[in-house]
Amino acid sequence: MDRERHRIPPFVVAIDVAKCAKDLQAAAQLAVRSGADRIILIGGDEKLESVLAAAGHRVEVLPAGSKVPDGASEVQPPSEHPATSPEVDLFDVLLAKALAGEQIHIQGPMTGTVAMMHIATIERLKHETGKPVSVVYS
């Protein structure tokens, strides 16, 4: 397969520091777990920026009040959910289905950012399971 022809665009996530002030650590954990190629901090946070950079993540800082750049997905912590609701990692659910050999059904429009997330998730599932993953789009 020609790698340049089938190049996957970078996956970028953005954290608006002001919006996530209550639980900035949770937002950062979501960004890291997403497997993003680059993390954008809107409004900046020197401590968080240095921690992410030290961990090997590409970090970009934009001024406070900047809008989320086109092609980037905004990450927000689940702080608005009650603490009693159980957290389920969607990737773990998909991984269990893939390991069982089940087809994964994806329904809805395939916009640029969503398509990139699907491709990255499917590639990660293939890597984790060591076998092809069957995906049906509708």
Nearest to 64 by CA among 10, 12, 25, 20: 20
Q: pTM surpassing 0.85? A: no
Q: Bigger pLDDT: 121 or 4?
A: 121
The whole-angstrom separation of Cα 12 and Cα 70 is 10
Mean model confidence pLDDT for the chain: 77
Of the candidates 44, 8, 9, 7, the one whose C-alpha atom is nearest the C-alpha of residue 24 is 44
What are the DSSP calls for 55-105, one per residue?
TT--EEEE-TTPPPPTTEEE---GGGS-TTSPP--HHHHHHHHHHTT--EE
Predicted confidence band of residue 2 (pLDDT cuts 50, 70, 90):
very low
pLDDT, one tens digit per residue, over 58-99 is 999 999 999 988 888 888 776 544 555 455 567 777 777 777
| Mean pLDDT of the region 102-115 | 72
| Candidate ranges 36-45, 88-97, 119-128; pick with highest mean pLDDT | 36-45
pLDDT in tens, 14-34: 888 888 877 788 888 888 877
